[in-house]
Amino acid sequence: MQDRILPPAKAVQNTHCTAQDYAALHARSLSDPDGFWADQARRIDWDRFPTRIAGWSYDPVDISWFEDGILNLCFNCVDRHLPSRADQVAILWEGDEPGVARTLTYAGLYAEVVRMANCLKELGATKGDRVTLYMPMIPEAAVAMLACARIGAVHSVVFGGFSPDALRGRIDDCASRFVITADGGMRGGKLVPLKANVDEALEGSAVQSVIVVRHCGNAVAMSEGRDHWYDTLGATVPDTCPCEPMNAEDPLFILYTSGSTGKPKGVLHTTGGYAVWTATTFHYVFDYRDGEIFWCTADVGWVTGHSYVVYGPLANGATTLMYEGVPNYPDCSRNWDMVERHKVDIFYTAPTAIRALMREGAAPVKKHDRSSLRLLGTVGEPINPEAWRWYYETVGDSRCPVVDTWWQTETGGIMITTLPGAHAMKPGSAGLPFFGIAPELVDAGGNVLEGAASGNLCIARSWPGQMRTVYGDHERFVQTYFTAYRGKYFTGDGCRRDEDGYYWITGRVDDVLNVSGHRLGTAEVESALVLHPKVAEAAVVGYPHDIKGQGIYCYVTLIAGEEASEALETELKQLVRHEIGPIATPDLLHFTPALPKTRSGKIMRRILRKIAENEFATLGDTSTLADPGLVDSLIEGRRNT
C-alpha cells in the first residue's frame, strides 16, 4: 500500500470541510483569530456573547478567551436541545454484560442532571466548590459532570481503576469536600468495589458528603451523615434547577494527567474556551452528521472521555455511546459486536487497544457486520503504521477514513489531525494543524526550524481549549510548559514535519535517542520491531553506552504462544537494521510477558528507562501503573540481559 491514502469517496460527500475549506479556514484562523473564533463561538449559546475574544500572553503567562462572555456549558449540552431533540437519544449505554443497555433521551438526560444538581445543592455544594467523581462508566458519570457544570461546581474525575491512595491524593490536592461515586462498577465480569475504595480513601479526610449511585447492588457501608444514596436523596428534590451563569474564564474542571512522565498535574480548564474548542473540534474532526451514533471508548476518567464522550458530542446534539466494560470481555470481538448491534457510525479508540485486538487476528472482527461504520479515529500514543493499516483495512474494510488525533490533557481537545473529507492520510502521521493551531519545531538551542525538519514540538499561539493553570500551582504551569522555550507552549513531544507539512509525533522528547550523534525516535524503532509477525508490542529506551553515548534497549512482548530465542533476537536486530539502518540496530533485547502501562494504557517509558539504566532505586512515582507487580519481574529480566 502507498503511504498516502486519499479519503475514500464516501468521506468526501457532504463533508463539513473540503480541502479548499480547510485551506481558507486555517489561513483565516491565523490571520484573523478574533474574527474566526467569534464565528466559531456561535456554536455555543451565550447569556452574554463575548466582545473580547483572544486575550492571552505567553510571556508573562496569562491566558484568557472570550473573557467577558457568560454561558453555562450544561445548558449548552442539555437544555438548549430540548425544543428540537427531546426524544432523541443523548446517551446510549451498554453495560459490562453484552446486551444490558439503557438509553437516556435528551429529555431524560435533562431530568437526571437536574436531579443530581439539586442533590449537590441540597448537600451545600455551590459555585466554585470542587467535587470529586469516582465512577464506573455509567450514564450517571456524565450526569454528575453536567450537574456540576450546571451549578458552577468544578468537577475532578478520578478514573475508577485508581487505588484508594491515588484517589485520596487527588481529593486532597484540590481540597474537595464532595464525592460522587457508585456502590461498584463492572469491568470484564469483575466487580470494582468503588464505594469501599472511597471509604478507605476518606479515612481522616475533610470530605463532608458522598453521593452513592446504586448500580451493582453489592453491599456497602454507609457512614451516617456523610453518605447518601442517590436514589433516596434524589427522590425528594425539586424537578427544576436553574443554570448558574458562568463567566467564560470560570473553572469548569480539574483533571489529573495520566502520569506517564512524572507526578500527575492537576490540569485546570475553564468554561468558555473549552466549550468552543470541544464543540468545534468534534464537528470538524469527526465530521459529525445529525443522527449518527458516535462511540469513543475512552473512560470519563481521561480527558478523551471528558471532551469526546461527554462535552463535544452533547454540545453538538449527538448520540454518544458509553460502554462500561473492556474490549476483550466476554471475548475480543466485543467492540465489533457492539458496532453491529448499535449501528455505530464513528468509532474512536486508542492504539493500545488496536494493537491488543490485532494480536487476535482478523476473524473476531470479520464475524461482525461493520457496514454502519463511516469513520475511525485514534488517540493517545503514536500509532505504528502496521497497526494503522490493520485498523484501516481489517476494521474499516478500507472504506472509512482514519483520523489520528494528536492532543493532550493540557490542550483540551484535538490539535493535529487530518480532516476526513479534506486530506490524504499517511499511516503513522497525525496530520495537519487544526484551526488556530500554529505548531513550531524548535531545536535544542531554541531556534525555530522551517520546512521539513525534526525537533521539539511547540505551539506558538494560544487556542481556546488550552489549560489555564496547574491547580494550586501556577508556578509549575509556567515552569513545565513555558520555560524551555520562552514565549511558546512546549508540548514535551518530539516531532518531525515532512515535505507536505504533515506532523509525525516521534514520542516524548525524553524518549528521543542520541546514538553516536544521530537522533532517533523511539517510535521508529518500535514500529520496525512490531513488523515481525511474532512481536506483539515493543518499547524502546536509551541507556548509557560507553562508545555510542546512548545504546538502544528494546523491551519486546511476543504474540501468544511464541517463545523467545537467540535466533529470534538475531532476526529482530536484522529487521530494525533493514528498516531504519545500521545506526538503529538494537543493542539489548529484553523479552517480557508484558509492558508497564498507565491505567490509561500508555507505556510508562520513564520506568523502562530507569530499569535499562540499572537505576532500580529511583523509579519515581509508580502509583498510576496498572500492574505495579510487573516492575520486579522487569528488574529481574534486566539483571539477566
Distance in Å, CB of 505 to ligand ATP, minimum: 4
Q: Which of 110, 253, 288, 406 binds ligand ATP (CB under 6 A)?
A: 406
> Could you say whether residue 631 binds ligand ATP (CB under 6 A)?
no
For ligand ATP, give the closer residue by CB, 391 or 406: 406
Convert 396-436 into a string of H (helix), E (strand) and C (coil): CCCCCCEEECECCHHHCCCCEECCCCCCCECCCCCEEECCC
Compute φ and ψ for 488, nearest 5 degrees.
-130, 155
C-alpha grid cell for residue 191?
Answer: 466487580
406 is in an annotated binding site: yes
380 is in an annotated binding site: yes
- How distant is the alpha carbon of residue 506 from its chain centre? 18
Distance in Å, CB of 409 to ligand ATP, minimum: 3
Q: What's the CA gap between 454 and 518, in Å, rounded?
A: 12
The closest of 271, 269, 246, 251 to 70, measured between CA atoms, is 246
Distance in Å, CB of 626 to ligand ATP, minimum: 13
Mark the segment that binds ligand ATP (CB under 6 A) among 188-196, 380-388, 458-466, 525-533. Answer: 380-388
Q: Are 253 and 156 in contact (CB under 8 A)?
A: yes
Mark the segment that binds ligand ATP (CB under 6 A) among 276-284, 325-333, 363-371, 407-415. Answer: 407-415
Q: Characterize the bridge pairing of strands 185-187 and 246-247.
A: unpaired
Angle subtended by helix axes 605-612 and 630-639, to nearest 10 = 30
79 is in an annotated binding site: no
Distance in Å, CB of 552 to ligand ATP, minimum: 20
Positions 246 through 285 that interact with ligand ATP (CB under 6 A): 257-261, 264
3-state helix, strand, coil in the chain (%, to 5): 35, 25, 40
Query: H/E element holding 50?
Result: none
The binding track of 19-58 with respect to ligand ATP, each residue x by CB under 6 A or -, is: ----------------------------------------
Compute φ and ψ for 461, nearest 5 degrees.
-135, 155
C-alpha grid cell for residue 540?
Answer: 524502546
Distance in Å, CB of 171 to ligand ATP, minimum: 18
The residues, ordered by sequence, that sit 6+ positions from 139 with a Cβ below 8 Å of its Cβ are: 91, 93, 102, 104, 109, 112, 322
304 is in an annotated binding site: yes
Number of residues lying near ligand ATP (CB under 6 A):
24
> Could you say whether residue 379 binds ligand ATP (CB under 6 A)?
yes
Q: Characterize the bridge pairing of strands 346-349 and 375-378.
A: parallel
Distance in Å, CB of 541 to ligand ATP, minimum: 15
Positions 428 through 467 that interact with ligand ATP (CB under 6 A): 430
> Could you say whether residue 380 binds ligand ATP (CB under 6 A)?
yes
516 is in an annotated binding site: yes
Mark the segment that binds ligand ATP (CB under 6 A) among 112-120, 384-392, 490-498, 571-579. Answer: 490-498
Positions 582 through 611 that interact with ligand ATP (CB under 6 A): 602
Distance in Å, CB of 73 to ligand ATP, minimum: 21
For ligand ATP, give the closer residue by CB, 86 or 174: 174
Mark the segment that binds ligand ATP (CB under 6 A) among 21-29, 111-119, 399-407, 585-593. Answer: 399-407
Q: Are 440 and 451 in contact (CB under 8 A)?
A: no
Q: What would the DSSP string read from start to end of 482-499?
A: HSSSTTSEEEEEEEEE-T
Cell 478500507, residue located: 398
Q: What's the CA gap between 592 and 395, in Å, rounded?
A: 28
Helix ranges, 290-420 (H): 303-305, 312-315, 334-342, 351-358, 363-366, 385-390
The closest of 133, 132, 130, 127 to 151, measured between CA atoms, is 127
Q: Which of 181, 405, 418, 592 binds ligand ATP (CB under 6 A)?
A: 405
Positions 100 through 119 that interact with ligand ATP (CB under 6 A): none
Neighbours of 563 (CB within 10 A): 8
The binding track of 292-321 with respect to ligand ATP, each residue x by CB under 6 A or -, is: -----------x------------------
For ligand ATP, give the closer residue by CB, 212 or 608: 608
Considering only CA atoms, give the Rg of the chain: 24
Annotated binding site for ATP, which residues? 380-382, 404-409, 493, 508, 519
Question: Binding site for CoA, residues?
Answer: 187-190, 304, 328, 516, 577
Q: Which residues lie near ligand ATP (CB under 6 A)? A: 257-261, 264, 303, 379-382, 404-409, 430, 491-493, 505, 508, 602
